[in-house]
Structure 1
């Protein structure tokens, strides 16, 4: 018999979320997650995927994944430190290090795991972390697990960062101080001010940590935000995911060899969780190889991003200050935002609404993620739907 206390807690809180319009319905996709998807038998232009370069359905990646399964099986069979490290994992890590321009790299089971692994692996209760207020949830969780003092600074506000760094250093109470930022912020599409962050870090001897989940494959001609600014030798931790632009699953930390060696003996997800599958390791390696050989997919992504942005702007929508293909369409009020997304769905466009508490109250938006796999015709159809719904709801 289940706990009455638990049943009451779940029923009461689920009902509360539903009443406030904060309960998220999950829409299962029937078939592949490409530029067009099928949900409940309905074909939709997909503007909600992180599959930036269309590699999740790329035939070349499928081929190497299938070969890896045939040769190595479907699982690694153990944690990395026992006998779950396959030669495929080493090839992947070598490829990541070349891609990011670092001495070494370590692969994890997800991008989320990277932050839960790397931050507590190096920081502890005697340290402090300066964290951008809009950093990803996995960074926040990693910081909490480290038990370090968390000092939030205003989003991309370099004066506030310098002030708080100075206060932390002058207090004399911390052994180490780290500054953490996303490379690209996923809700607004803006890029971190890395040159200024590095300059402040050098002034106060801060450890630098950049989570480039939405930048790898997208900025710096594909090599990421750190490479975009030419700062590979000045950023201590480069974090990335293999599940967005790379199109597979997993994550990595790239940096100096000593750092990677330390994480291999001290980061808990590496020590206590089975390694990524042979198919994932092989497909990720192939994807990075493709990005290093050609910028064709990267260029197409940016071309499509510009096209969608220009079209939405011309229609009169507020698309914020995005500096990347991530294109928020800011509606404002929460209920209207959700209704807007629902109407787009009815018109054949899948673009999810994002509202409080993920973004500040009153800044609800429909977030659009154009990819390299979209055609101009698909984007034109999406723009036509935006115009129709925008006028109908009085947004434009």
Structure 2
């Protein structure tokens, strides 16, 4: 996780703006779910935040940019990707706005997501898997070897749990991994089933002993 306090003094010295792409944090990180800028308490030090509506805000498509009014006014006139893009379909916009309303009115969903994430991460560590440390709901399970990574993903998928294997060039060579995404909708029974599948497949493929 990047230190978002670090750019501010430098930006002030050279009269630059600070922009954060918060696509992997919007909706679930921070006390109010406003992302990494909320988690680190730097909302007032960031000039522009960009994010996506394809993850926590409904999972459809599209994105957004937010900032001070004068910055957004300039972007509306000068941002070529914005000027030459079609507008989002109304159902996608309504879905994202509804997701924002839910995030503001149902904090228990965010709490459940964090509980599920901590539970899954701790149990996978207990089983002997190499998990990238952190508290993010996207859980990278480091395998390293690309062939073994694909074999493990196939073994897990064959047992009814969907996962995706990532290898070069998506990630650096030698850092192949399986990515698992937690959800507030997951029940403890579902997580336990996924853990049992990972344990069985991991032992079968020689990833854990």
1:217/1:246 contact within 8 Å kept: yes
2:56 to 230, 245, 248: 245
Secondary structure of the structure 1 residue equivalent to 2:153: helix
1:320 to 132, 139, 142: 132
1:264/1:270 contact within 8 Å kept: yes
Other-structure match for 1:255: 67
Other-structure match for 2:28: 218
Alignment deviations for residues 353-396 of structure 1 (CA, whole Å, 9 cap, x no partner): 01111111111111110111111111111100111111111111
1:368 to 157, 168, 180: 180
Alignment deviations for residues 195-219 of structure 1 (CA, whole Å, 9 cap, x no partner): 1232333344432110000100011
Other-structure match for 2:47: 236
Bigger radius of gyration, 1 or 2? 1
2:25/2:36 contact within 8 Å kept: yes
Secondary structure of the structure 2 residue equivalent to 1:233: helix
Other-structure match for 1:391: 203
Alignment deviations for residues 109-160 of structure 1 (CA, whole Å, 9 cap, x no partner): xxxxxxxxxxxxxxxxxxxxxxxxxxxxxxxxxxxxxxxxxxxxxxxxxxxx
2:138 paired with 1:295: no
2:33/2:110 contact within 8 Å kept: yes
Correspondences of 1:1-396 after superposition (within 5 Å): 191-220=1-30, 221-247=32-58, 248-396=60-208
Unaligned runs of 5+ in 2: none
Q: What is the distance in 1 between the residues matched to 2:187 and 2:103?
A: 20
Secondary structure of the structure 2 residue equivalent to 1:245: coil
Q: What is the distance in 2 between the residues matched to 1:264 and 1:205?
A: 22
1:322/1:328 contact within 8 Å kept: no
TM-score (norm 1): 0.50
Secondary structure of the structure 2 residue equivalent to 1:331: strand
Deviation at 1:271, TM superposition (A): 1.6
2:114/2:135 contact within 8 Å kept: no
Q: What is the distance in 1 between the residues matched to 2:117 and 2:135?
A: 10
Q: What is the distance in 2 between the residues matched to 1:271 and 1:201?
A: 28
Aligned pair count?
206
Cα root mean square deviation, aligned: 1.3
